[in-house]
Chains A and B, each alone.
Chain A
Amino acid sequence: MSLLHTTERPPALLVLADGRVFPGVGVGADVRTNGEVVFTTSMTGYQEALTDPSFRGQILTMTFPLQGNYGTNASMEESGEIQVRGFVVREMTDLPSHWHSTETLHAYLAARGIAGIAEVDTRALTRHLRSRGVVMGTITQDETAEEALARLHAAPDYATLDYVAEVSTATAYDFTDPLHALGPQPDGGTPPHVVVLDLGVKRNIMRILRARGCTVTAVPHLTDAETILSLKPDGVLLSPGPGDPMLLDHVTTTARGLIGRTPILGICLGHQVIGRVLGADTYKLKFGHRGANHPVRDEITGKVYITSQNHGFAVDGDRLSDDARVTQRHLNDGTVEGLEHRNEPVFTIQYHSEASPGPNDTEFLFDRFMTSVRSLRESARGGR
């Protein structure tokens, strides 16, 4: 066994576009990287976060200081690759302890070409981000801070890029998972079919649908409504994903074409897109909501749920059309966390009921989606 000696790792810098510099040591791949610097307060789930497509284009800071404790394992991956552009931690262990760990976090990052920086005063960084807002940054080992800053200023800003195109599947595919067999059918009939419009979907969303007895087809983000409907879905899920929903007019058009023709569940970016269809604006939050401890209040029942969140943009509920209403709000800042169409089987959530990482408290919302999927199937059958 060898210890990851930070003194044996090359010094590295995290340079922010506003000029603030955080020294540390390089971990993972020894390459330069740019991205929007964000933080998550989730204390566990680093591998799920690293592979979450919603983090595409971002440099992720973990506020919990010890990372890599339980190593890595393919079963914790939420997509086929590491999505973050850089990883910032206080301390990364090279001595994981877990029965299913196959690779250290450091080796995992290095093998996939992703740069990280450790030994950073991540609390100071977090305090900086929360007071001035998220900002572009770069991790570097072979430049002065000034050089890195100049390079960073010449690089494109996070807000201008369409990351959905990068993370969405290129071709449609049926999701199967050897670890998660197709769940049983309550009525013994054929499985319902859910089409997932992949804007950066997490595997756990599809696993949860499979566990509820659905066959799942993921389709590329550019797929239009008619093509989706031609797959004869019993329901459509608009997935989470990275970036600004305002860049996604084509998806908005697709969503508009689906409402009223099939049950729809929108999650995170999917929620924001549907919000736009329903007349709302979207806007960028100062430092986003990222963590596993976000309280959301159901406006109807008054109950509070602890949710997993990862978003930098939010829906402004003010100009919502009369067809829709806000169903849930964030308890801390009152931002919109859920929407519902008054007449059609369409509902959305800003947070991640699929967890992974995070609490499973709202997984029942998938049951609610399944209820509308199944009841529409019933009525369709009855009408036949």
Chain B
Amino acid sequence: MREEGIRSILVNSNPATIMTDEEVADVTYIEPLTVEVLERIIARERPEALLPTLGGQTGLNLAVELHEAGILDRYNVRLLGSSVRTIKLAEDRQLFRDLLTEIGEPTPASMIVESWEQAQAALDLVGLPAVVRPAYTLGGTGGGIAHNLEEYERITKSGLAASPISQVLVEQSLLGWKELEYEVMRDGNDTCITICNMENLDPMGVHTGDSIVVAPSQTLSDREYHMLRNSALKIIRALGIEGGCNVQFALAPRPDVVGWAGSDEAECLPYHVIEVNPRVSRSSALASKATGYPIARVAAKIAVGKRLHEVENAVTRRTTAAFEPALDYVVVKIPRWPFDKFGTGDRTLGTQMKATGEVMAIDRTFEGALQKAIRSLEFGNRSILWEKPTWTGDPPMEATDERIWAVLSSIRRRIPLQVISDRSGIDPWFVERLARIVEMERTLLSEDLTPVLLREAKRLGFADRDIATLADRLPEQVRALREEWDIRPVYKMVDTCAAEFDAVTPYFYSTYEYENEAPPTARESVLVLGSGPIRIGQGIEFDYCSVRAARALQAAGIEAIMANSNPETVSTDFDTSDRLYFEPLDEESIRDLLENEAGDSGEAPRTIVQFGGQTAINMAKPLTNAAMPIAGSSADSIDIAEDRGRFGEILAELDIPQPPGAAVTNLEDALSTANAIGYPVLVRPSYVLGGRAMEVVQDANELVRFFGAALAENTGAVLIDKYLVGPEVEVDAICDGVTVLIPGIMEHIERAGVHSGDSMAVYPPQHLTDEQRDAIVDYTTRMALALEVRGLMNVQFVIAPAADPNGPGVFVIEVNPRSSRTVPFLSKVTGVPMVQLAVNIMLGQSLIDQGYTNGLWPERALVAVKAPVFSMSKLVDVDTFLGPEMKSTGEVMGVDFTFGPAVRKALIASGLDVAPGTPFLLSVSNQSKAEAVPLIRMLHEAGCRLYATEGTAALIQGLGIPVEMVTKRLNEGHPNVVDVIRDGTVKAVINTVEGGRAAAQRDGFHIRRSATEMRIPCFTSIDTVRAAIQALAHPDSYEVRPLIEYRDGIRP
């Protein structure tokens, strides 16, 4: 936009993304994405046009709402990219079907229904199995495939609830057909091109976001490829889109599927158009990275009136954007699912997307790309060789996150390939490719390693680690053999044109061939490690940090090299860094690329491990062992912070208190430690991110039960700490070895025990005493110096005055010598360029050099509240209560001049907003009843009708407040708790739990799940409730301003 001389105003509620950084747009608002907020922004900024197509489904929905509220007309705002008619055409099932019929494009038999009664009637037309797709929802939320009547009823009803217009499409199932996607683009002069086609390895029936995807298609003939391409172009023309569009197809895999006897009936089998997204989508991001064609950039230029041939091809710089990328490699995308954290979640994949992120890998063989993608998933122990211990006989072939391993296992068990293909619906081509992998496994198991064999294994993508397992060596020995036999990867360029033209993109992938296109860079360079796939505990915040790090390096005149495996990030845009390696973030790949950068000199560039979350920090030790230099805090500093024993010694030396506890390796020690410090205790494995397998344990019985789970994480020791009840406080600090800057302190709204990533956090803190604040600054400063931190550090404290009667009552819970997930939030609200300062420290500048000094950066006159966002409605069987294990997948921010409006905006943006008069269901645990009393009174005063379970109802009655009792025993009469949630009687739920996870699951699981599925706010922490009720007092009195005005304290 800026290149075109256009002033852009960006609105997003997400503080974690690089997008809401100030230098991206001309004006940046971090405000909730609602019609009301948008109207106020439009009224103030008076933009000429609105571009909604780059903001996903959220953007399109808002554009339609703004149009329908008459706001676009009133302020004379043009809609760019897609018209309201187009958005509705693509999203409203009936309109879309009519359009396709009109242009002669086939769609499966289907019916639009708006009630369960209509849905029953529709069954006659479409039959079972049937696909249920709700209109206007993200990622197909609320839909699914029904194989029987019972499933049909459940899914249809949840789909109707999920759709903002209570409309679902019930459709003939094309289960087992090939699924293909085309990314197409059109400009205002009706020039249309295809950027990329993609083939799902998983056949129809699995949401494309949950499918393993290959680009380009592998099993389509030229005729089929172009038949579908023609259709996609016809559709984008019919929709009149100016910009990008994604079209999904189902193609019959064999003549018998459609009842054809022979192959002479036609040259092509039938296909159906399944879905169209009239916008830049997740698939577009993948297609951009897969091809090197910057779809979002070109779409934005087209939206403002440029023609495709008027936009430069940034890759070749001598051709234009009007062409179709030619790939000379294979791309494999694998989704990253959260089932490693949600062990109880239903792992079955269907039309509702469950993945939180994805990885992509590129190679010149399919096998190589697939194996690299599997390595990129960063499932520590789940390599290509992994098999589930419970698999016996025939491993299950239904679609789950484990299916690719089940297929490999089946091949190892010599189940005929055709049988595997028939059962899974996966095209034989892919099954046969997997068979080649298994065949190589057998060879490696039985034959001696030779240069020819090792080279062949590497060409098929085998990791050194897996070769070592199979050939009975150590990974390091395999690496040594590779060196001896000169078997090293070469790096080839992603250039959009299959080498037809000389390209300037420094975008590389590894492969085992002959010519290397990435000689070491001539200038001084530093490698930035990204954070891999987005998962719970490691989100888009680290992309922000990686991108900022690259820019800081460039600003300092150093060449920034980026390594990452995630196609959804800005860090993997080829123009973010000076050189991009799209590679798995594991030891083998990072060492290979560092050796490539070292070249003949043997001197590898330094590596920054601080900004890529735990993924990157975990590389510190192996790189150090391999004599590769780390920029910033040393591997030893990192180890001290993570090693309970060593860290305890340092704290003792510094006389800084932490909750009593110990690291133990057996149950006996665990029990005696817990006895000594007293229950409740916090149990967690060391070296684990995002609180996986972390528990608050109330007694010895629970400890016995959870100790095993914690130990099973296989990270060595288990930490047993006294669980101190109190507010949690978090700081990020920057240290150059002499000076320690603390940009800000954040206070959590929920008490310690709720994972910091799932807590709402407030900047600046609202309840700290000066003494506590001073202690936090003092402890942080001394720890940073003692740990010899060079760069960033994050510390979490619990404030428990009762446990420290003679001191400030501040205890250190955790220290991480790296960038934390709060860095983008804190950078934006304080204006301190934290990543840049840290990078400059690594390059040798001091904080003083950069104009900063010791201590706490002056607090800004704003209040910012960070709130977590969950995607749990998509994960059936996952409990939603907040605990020590992190569950959120993203975050939003509410910012204002005072606390009430800020928290209200955070709640609006995170979907927890409650209006005065909202009917509430309460089910409060005994422990929190006393705390609940004032809140119940406030709810009553705010005109909220109250419903409550047995014990809570008694409490409310005792307060003299009217309440309706609803039983929580589901088989003892109606209405029960689930009924009042499902039928819409209550519009918000408060359900607090006490005790550990077991207790939580016994109690109230159905309440929470029902609330989640009905998409109504469900509060599981009394602290969140308090904040929400306080916010009720500020229904509309919030500001809407660019972030910078809040920060600079420009008050109204």
Residues of A within 8 A of B (CB): 1, 3, 7, 39, 41-45, 48, 63-66, 69-70, 75-76, 90-91, 93, 95-100, 121-124, 126-127, 130-131, 179, 287, 291-295, 297, 302-306, 331-332, 355-361
Give residues 202-237 of B contacting A (CB, 8 Å). 216-223, 225-226, 229-230, 233
Interface flag for B366 (CB, 8 Å): yes
Interface flag for B328 (CB, 8 Å): yes
B452 neighbours in A (Cβ, 8 Å): 7
Contact check, A359 vs B515: say whether CB atoms are below 8 A apart.
Answer: no
Interface flag for B364 (CB, 8 Å): yes
Beyond contacts A41-B498, A97-B429, A294-B323: 19 other A-B pairs, Cβ-Cβ < 8 A, are A3-B432, A42-B222, A43-B225, A44-B217, A44-B225, A45-B221, A63-B499, A64-B327, A65-B329, A65-B364, A69-B218, A70-B221, A100-B267, A130-B499, A356-B223, A357-B226, A359-B230, A361-B192, A361-B233
B221 neighbours in A (Cβ, 8 Å): 44-45, 70, 76, 98, 100
17 A-B pairs (CB sep. < 8 Å) = A41-B497, A45-B222, A63-B499, A65-B365, A76-B221, A76-B223, A98-B219, A123-B328, A123-B499, A127-B517, A179-B267, A292-B326, A294-B323, A295-B309, A295-B319, A356-B222, A358-B222
Which one of B192, B216, B323, B432 lies within 8 Å of A97 (CB-CB)? B432
A292 neighbours in B (Cβ, 8 Å): 324, 326
**Alpha-carbon distance A97/B322, docked complex (angstroms):** 33
Contact check, B323 vs A295: say whether CB atoms are below 8 A apart.
Answer: yes
**Alpha-carbon distance A91/B193, docked complex (angstroms):** 28
B191 neighbours in A (Cβ, 8 Å): 303-305
Shortest Cβ distance from residue A53 to the other chain B in the assembled complex, whole angstroms: 17
A99 neighbours in B (Cβ, 8 Å): 253-255, 263, 269
Q: In the complex, which of the residues A75, A95, A122, A358 has the most CB atoms of chain B within 10 Å of its own CB atom?
A: A95
Whether A332 touches B318, Cβ cut-off 8 Å, given contacts A122-B328, A127-B499, is yes
Whether A358 touches B328, Cβ cut-off 8 Å, given contacts A99-B263, A297-B309, is no
- The B interface is mostly helix, strand or loop, or mixed, namely loop
**Alpha-carbon distance A99/B428, docked complex (angstroms):** 11
Interface flag for B668 (CB, 8 Å): no
Interface flag for B330 (CB, 8 Å): yes
**Alpha-carbon distance A70/B432, docked complex (angstroms):** 13
Contact check, B323 vs A75: say whether CB atoms are below 8 A apart.
Answer: no
Interface flag for B730 (CB, 8 Å): no
Whether A121 touches B222, Cβ cut-off 8 Å, given contacts A41-B500, A91-B365, A126-B328, is no
A91 neighbours in B (Cβ, 8 Å): 364-365
Which one of A95, A179, A293 lies within 8 Å of B326 (CB-CB)? A293
Interface flag for B325 (CB, 8 Å): yes
Shortest Cβ distance from residue A15 to the other chain B in the assembled complex, whole angstroms: 15
**Alpha-carbon distance A140/B976, docked complex (angstroms):** 81
**Alpha-carbon distance A284/B307, docked complex (angstroms):** 31
Interface flag for B175 (CB, 8 Å): no
Interface flag for B492 (CB, 8 Å): yes
**Alpha-carbon distance A44/B229, docked complex (angstroms):** 13
Q: In the complex, which of the residues B189, B439, B497 has the most CB atoms of chain A within 10 Å of its own CB atom?
A: B497
B194 neighbours in A (Cβ, 8 Å): 306
Report, nearest first, the 10 A-B pairs whose CB atoms are least far apart.
Answer: A45-B222, A97-B429, A124-B515, A41-B326, A63-B498, A293-B324, A44-B222, A357-B222, A126-B499, A41-B498
A179 neighbours in B (Cβ, 8 Å): 267
B193 neighbours in A (Cβ, 8 Å): 295, 304, 306
A293 neighbours in B (Cβ, 8 Å): 323-326
**Alpha-carbon distance A293/B497, docked complex (angstroms):** 9
Shortest Cβ distance from residue B85 to the other chain A in the assembled complex, whole angstroms: 23
**How many A-B pairs fall under 8 Å by CB?**
170
Interface flag for B513 (CB, 8 Å): yes
Shortest Cβ distance from residue A351 to the other chain B in the assembled complex, whole angstroms: 13
B269 neighbours in A (Cβ, 8 Å): 99
Residues of B within 8 A of A (CB): 189-194, 216-223, 225-226, 229-230, 233, 253-255, 263, 267, 269, 307-309, 318-320, 322-330, 364-366, 417, 427-429, 432, 435-436, 439, 452, 456, 492, 497-502, 513-515, 517
**Alpha-carbon distance A303/B237, docked complex (angstroms):** 14
Which one of A93, A126, A355 lies within 8 Å of B226 (CB-CB)? A355
Contact check, A295 vs B320: say whether CB atoms are below 8 A apart.
Answer: yes
**Alpha-carbon distance A356/B226, docked complex (angstroms):** 9
Closest to A180 in B: B267
Closest to A290 in B: B500
**Alpha-carbon distance A66/B497, docked complex (angstroms):** 16
Contact check, B233 vs A63: say whether CB atoms are below 8 A apart.
Answer: no
Whether A123 touches B226, Cβ cut-off 8 Å, given contacts A66-B366, A99-B254, A293-B324, is no
Contact check, B456 vs A7: say whether CB atoms are below 8 A apart.
Answer: yes
Contact check, B219 vs A70: say whether CB atoms are below 8 A apart.
Answer: yes
Which one of B229, B308, B427 lies within 8 Å of A304 (CB-CB)? B308
**Alpha-carbon distance A297/B965, docked complex (angstroms):** 73
Shortest Cβ distance from residue B508 to the other chain A in the assembled complex, whole angstroms: 12
Contact check, B189 vs A95: say whether CB atoms are below 8 A apart.
Answer: no
A45 neighbours in B (Cβ, 8 Å): 221-222
**Alpha-carbon distance A297/B187, docked complex (angstroms):** 14
Contact check, A64 vs B328: say whether CB atoms are below 8 A apart.
Answer: yes
Contact check, A358 vs B226: say whether CB atoms are below 8 A apart.
Answer: yes
**Alpha-carbon distance A295/B1015, docked complex (angstroms):** 48
B218 neighbours in A (Cβ, 8 Å): 66, 69
Q: In the complex, which of the residues A7, A69, A96 has the most CB atoms of chain B within 10 Å of its own CB atom?
A: A69
Closest to A90 in B: B364
Closest to A296 in B: B322
**Alpha-carbon distance A142/B862, docked complex (angstroms):** 79
B327 neighbours in A (Cβ, 8 Å): 43, 64
Whether A66 touches B330, Cβ cut-off 8 Å, given contacts A306-B324, A361-B233, is yes
A306 neighbours in B (Cβ, 8 Å): 193-194, 323-324
Contact check, A41 vs B322: say whether CB atoms are below 8 A apart.
Answer: no
Q: In the complex, which of the residues B218, B221, B223, B513 has the most CB atoms of chain A within 10 Å of its own CB atom?
A: B221
Shortest Cβ distance from residue B514 to the other chain A in the assembled complex, whole angstroms: 4
Shortest Cβ distance from residue B207 to the other chain A in the assembled complex, whole angstroms: 24
Contact check, A121 vs B514: say whether CB atoms are below 8 A apart.
Answer: yes
Shortest Cβ distance from residue A110 to the other chain B in the assembled complex, whole angstroms: 20
B226 neighbours in A (Cβ, 8 Å): 355, 357-360
Q: In the complex, which of the residues B222, B307, B328, B456 has the most CB atoms of chain A within 10 Å of its own CB atom?
A: B222
**Alpha-carbon distance A303/B193, docked complex (angstroms):** 12
Which one of A39, A48, A66, A100 lies within 8 Å of B263 (CB-CB)? A100
B330 neighbours in A (Cβ, 8 Å): 65-66
**Alpha-carbon distance A53/B226, docked complex (angstroms):** 22
A3 neighbours in B (Cβ, 8 Å): 432, 435-436, 439
Contact check, A126 vs B498: say whether CB atoms are below 8 A apart.
Answer: yes
Closest to B197 in A: A43
**Alpha-carbon distance A91/B439, docked complex (angstroms):** 17
Contact check, A95 vs B501: say whether CB atoms are below 8 A apart.
Answer: no
**Alpha-carbon distance A295/B313, docked complex (angstroms):** 13
B500 neighbours in A (Cβ, 8 Å): 39, 41, 63, 126, 130, 287, 291
**Alpha-carbon distance A358/B230, docked complex (angstroms):** 11
Contact check, A43 vs B229: say whether CB atoms are below 8 A apart.
Answer: no
A361 neighbours in B (Cβ, 8 Å): 192, 233
Closest to A46 in B: B222
A305 neighbours in B (Cβ, 8 Å): 191
B254 neighbours in A (Cβ, 8 Å): 99
Which one of A64, A69, A304 lies within 8 Å of B309 (CB-CB)? A304
Whether A123 touches B515, Cβ cut-off 8 Å, given contacts A44-B222, A98-B221, A331-B323, is yes
Contact check, B326 vs A331: say whether CB atoms are below 8 A apart.
Answer: no
Contact check, B190 vs A303: say whether CB atoms are below 8 A apart.
Answer: yes
A96 neighbours in B (Cβ, 8 Å): 429
Closest to B429 in A: A97
Closest to B230 in A: A360
**Alpha-carbon distance A270/B217, docked complex (angstroms):** 33
**Alpha-carbon distance A43/B328, docked complex (angstroms):** 8
Shortest Cβ distance from residue B803 to the other chain A in the assembled complex, whole angstroms: 64
A43 neighbours in B (Cβ, 8 Å): 216, 225, 326-327
Contact check, A97 vs B326: say whether CB atoms are below 8 A apart.
Answer: no
A122 neighbours in B (Cβ, 8 Å): 328
